[in-house]
Amino acid sequence: MRSMLSKGLLALQLLGTSVLAMAAPKVLLVGMDGAQYEKMQALSLPNINRLQITRSYTGGINGAASQQATVSGPGWATILTGVWTSKHTVTSNDSGLADARYPSLFKRIRDARPNAYIASVTHWGSINNQFFTNDVAGNNFNASNLADQAVADKVVELVNTTPADFVFAHLDDVDEAGHASGFGSAYDSALRAADARLGQMLNAVQARQAANGDDWLVLVTTDHGRDPLLGYNHGNQTQSEKTTFIASSKAMNAEFSQRIVNVSNQDFSGLYGYAAQTWIAPTVLRHLGIEPRADWKLDGAPLTGAVAVRKLLPAQGGQYSFNWFADAVGMIDISRNGEPLASVPALQQGFLDSAAPKGVVDYTLSVNGTPVSLRLNRNEIQSTLDWDTTRSYFFLTDGSYVRYNNVLDRAESGYPQAVTEGNWPGLTPYASKLVGGFSKDASTAYLFLADGTYLRYDKTNDKVEAGYPKPINDSTWPGLGSYATQIVATLRWTGDKVQFFLRDGRYIRYSLTADHADAGYPKAVNNSSWPGVGNYATKIRAAVKWNDTKAYFFLNDGSYIRYNISSDKADAGYPKTVNSSTWPGVLSY
């Protein structure tokens, strides 16, 4: 009898093991737009407290290629792709389609599991209808512009009545309350209501799991924090606006549970010692049995299973160098742009790539079979060209260029591109020598080269004119000949004037009507001749006229100055850093 009982127990145990092994992995990802972590913690919300929760951060690394605005478009795009805006290219709430080279979870899951049931249920329609329109086209169910309660009701219905494998839910009332009245009673009420709706979804998942034995992972997060004083707005790089959270129904690995106090970048009171927003998408993928691949160049890794390289951050002020955290021996494999580069001890906790090429470089570090990537961008603006009132061109130090939409204030999709005979006929041999450019009128532009020559560009026929380059001398450009190789930037000014800036901190004003440099030049660039620019005279790298009221100076330290042509002085608050927030798409790819 005892033997038969033992065999029966063993059979039950084996059956239980078999059922556990066959448990289908499922994920519910819930987004609470604009929910401030500290306010949630103060309210001790009962349903979020059913989960494990950690502080996290958004906005990328301030001043680095990954920096992005702390607004909804970039935030949700990062959550759903696992990369920063430098890759997904959603720089604002007005951005168009995200870069297809870095697909969202909807597309990643569909590609890996063709029969998966995928749904996206959102209050804010831009997620489905703007950034990821193509990706969600493959979903089994999508709903947009629903009220928060309708979102929760639909998610409960999907969990109860479909074989849902991945469901994304977006709630927006908390963010709307913040914008309407800031922090206060209305905001707290919105948080409590969002938590109640989370409870409804958690209850549905628990019931479904109990009935079917499915293996559900529920993750809850937010896209951004809020301004630290009143909570009305967001978008900047402050600790409060960068602070987000990740909550999980399952135990996570050390990246989730352990803050690194001695992280290499201590900005924002050590906020970078917590998990990044980019680790959410890889976590979803691993739970669904889809292992992140090195060629995906994800900026995060899963918060479950084996721990990847942690706190991979660009070295502050370093040229193609980066740091990470390690507390155990072992080796880390490093690749650069997909090619093996080095294998180093984990405890080295840093690497300098002294042979890195110019421009944008993608590094991938792998340990425990798990990759995590970092994009470094040491590209610089080399020269500019004011084509017309709607677009400008930025030529970069790696031989590429960006077409910038002046009206939308962002780089156009698909840039930068290499300068080729197909897009700039006649310019290819000279792209690396460009130091300045300006449009004389609607049909002619001039481009100036570091070797003291220049090109005339036929804008109507879109090509360099025959017979160029020609030398800059006192026959071709009277008054400039002695300074031909000293020109570092040009700026089309008002009327018939062009300003030529020299590497020694002086400038020459040129009259196109008289076809001669004005008398008395060169003069010093100082705070009398160029108020607000004088202190940076020898740092000027490029300049461009935007319209009749403003121009921009780009400096060799990665910053820029906005110049008010009408008042003839630099605007207050400059220089500012050229990044994905100030100049979307110029240096962020």
Q: Which of 61, 554, 535 is nearest to 317 (CA)?
A: 61
Look at residue 7 in the predicted model and tell me its pLDDT.
Answer: 38
Q: Give average pLDDT by consecutive 10-residue segment, the chain, 589 residues.
A: 36 40 89 98 98 97 88 97 93 91 98 98 98 98 98 98 98 98 98 98 97 97 97 95 98 97 96 98 98 98 96 84 93 97 96 88 95 89 94 92 92 84 94 95 97 97 97 97 97 96 97 97 96 96 94 92 96 89 74
Dist. CA 480–CA 474, nearest whole Å: 6
For 137, list phi and psi in degrees, rounded to 5: -60, -25
* H runs (alpha helix) in 113-184: 126, 133-136, 148-161, 173-181
Question: 409 and 357 in contact (C-beta within 8 Å)?
Answer: no
Residue 237: the pLDDT is 92
- In the chain the domains, ranked by start, together with CATH numbers, are 22-303 (3.40.720.10), 321-369 (no CATH), 381-577 (2.110.10.10)
Q: Distance (Å, rounded) from C-alpha 323 to C-alpha 3?
A: 60
pLDDT value at residue 581: 76
How far apart (Å, rounded) are the C-alpha atoms in residues 255 and 260? 9
pLDDT value, residue 318: 65
What's this model's pTM, rounded to 2 decimal places? 0.78
96: tokens are: 């168009």
Residue with tokens 């008054």, as numbered in its chain: 479
For 251-268, b/e burial (b = at least 16 CB within 10 A) is ebbebbebebeebbbebb
Alpha-carbon distance 578 to 589, whole Å? Answer: 13
415, 385, 387, 390: which is closest to 401 by C-alpha?
415
Pairwise CA distance, residues 197 & 149, whole Å: 7
284 contacts 346 by C-beta, under 8 angstroms: no
Which of 385, 467, 469 is CA-nearest to residue 423?
A: 385
CB 113 within 8 A of CB 162: no
> Residue 62's pLDDT is what?
87
Angle in degrees, CA 223, 226, 230, rounded to 5:
160
Query: Rg of the Cα trace of the chain?
Result: 28
Nearest to 172 by CA among 150, 140, 156, 153: 150
